[in-house]
Amino acid sequence: MTGSPVILASGSESRRRLLANAGVKAEAIRPNVDEDAAKATYRADNMRVADQAMKLAELKAIKVSQRHTGLVIGGDQMLNLDGEPIDKPKDMAEAASHLKRFSGKTHRLETAIVIAENGQPVWRHLSAPKLTVRPLSEDFIASYLDTSGEGLLKTVGAYMLEDLGAQLFTRIEGDYFTILGLPLLPLLDYLRTRGVLQS
């Protein structure tokens, strides 16, 4: 195919694998963005959770796009619990605390993606799946964390839907790929319009 090279501005193995499985050849380059500092600024300004995710995705895409030629994909996902952003748990104790807070409630995964080219954003998309967590007992949470292991700390909600995380939910409204971290279908559609993929 013709079209610009594709770069994934991320160290996320999940996003890289989703692209590869869908037939998109993308080089992964870490953007080296200070996410904690950026989030602190956004939250000091009382920015909506969805807007925080979009700003971070844009920041990552632009940073890599300023140094590399091609279509640079930046993505970010934030868990929105009643308007409060919830970050990845720092340790297993915090993961347990998060799951207790999610128990019996519905949250949104604000999942933003921005494509930058020549240091400028050229396309953006936001998806926000809604996930309803069933009431979780403390024994289940402890067993779930013990079985799943510390890999959960790399995920925003302390769950991997493709694994035991499926047991946490009674209802999911939204796209499976988006929950895994990448709104894949609209992204593929855009890459077709750019000649990266066959239409």
CA-CA distance, 19 to 182, in Å (whole number)? 9
Which residues are catalytically annotated?
76
Dihedral sign (CA 16, 18, 21, 23) = negative
Handedness of CA 184, 86, 65, 123 (dihedral sign): positive
CA–CA separation, 177 and 20 (whole Å): 13
CA distances from 24 to 57, 63, 68, 107 (A): 19, 21, 18, 30
Q: Are 23 and 43 in contact (CB under 8 A)?
A: no
Q: Please state, in angstroms and rounded to a whole number, the distance separating the CA atoms of residues 188 and 195.
A: 11
Of 1, 134, 113, nearest in space to 61 by CA: 113
